[in-house]
Amino acid sequence: MGCVTAPLKALGCLGLLGALAIGYLYRDRVVDEGRRLLHRFDSAADSAPPDGRSRGRPGSRALAGARAKIDSLNGWRADSVVLTPSEVASLMGQGLAPAFRKELDSLEVELLDGEVTVRARLRTARLPKDVVGPLAMALREQEPVEATGPLRVTGPGTGEWAVRSFHLRGFPIPAPAVKRLVSRALRDPARETVPWQVPHGVRSVRVRPGGATLYGAPRP
């Protein structure tokens, strides 16, 4: 039995020595690949929703990632790209109408089936008292809000977030009053949706839990 196992042990030692030699010769490549994998894991952890669902918050890394993906629509001729919830939150934070965005703090975005939910803390000074009702007497300077609606591209470089439901401190606001809230926040009585500045080259967006697909302009 020893005569049989001895050659196998020798072959195993030779194989191990060969693997070590190859690893030494290509150590720089191995280190680079290891760093690349670690960077991928770090990026995934950075953009992952905090509670395992399709949620994300704006951030400089997420914004840079979103812009890099959108560049591929224009420069690398990709047909579409998929953004993480954090990347969508960053684009919305940058692209929503300034008059509306400045009323919101602690922005968080959740991607649903065809819609986007935004959770934030809203400055309440501009809320119409007749819409808020008796709750107006108890409002603090900032209150938690939750608003949901589809995110659309309406033309080259332009889009809208059509808020269809709105909750203030957990209390639902009647649907007919939601548009008035939007108009008051935008200081434009004729406006019923929130303008969204769409990045150049994006012709449509499809929102799904876990990611939003941006489609580029048709190729000639």
Q: Which of 128, 127, 205 is nearest to 161 (CA)?
A: 205
In this prediction, residues 11-30 reach a mean pLDDT of 49
pTM: 0.71
pLDDT above 60: residue 47: no
Report the pLDDT value the prediction gives residue 69, as an integer from 0 to 100.
92
CATH number of 53-216, picked from 1.20.1300, 3.60.90, 3.15.10, 1.20.1380: 3.15.10
What rounded mean pLDDT belongs to the chain? 78
CB 178 within 8 A of CB 187: no
Assign 164 to helix, strand or coil. Answer: coil
Assign 97 to helix, strand or coil. Answer: coil
DSSP 91: H
Q: State the pLDDT confidence band at 135, using cuts at 50, 70 and 90.
A: confident
Report the pLDDT value the prediction gives residue 74, as an integer from 0 to 100.
76
Backbone angles phi, psi at 98, to 5 degrees: -55, -40
Task: Identify which has the larger pLDDT, 157 or 17.
Answer: 157
Q: What does the domain layout of the chain look like in residue ranges?
A: 2-45, 53-216
Task: Identify which has the larger pLDDT, 151 or 169.
Answer: 151
Report the pLDDT value the prediction gives residue 151, as an integer from 0 to 100.
95
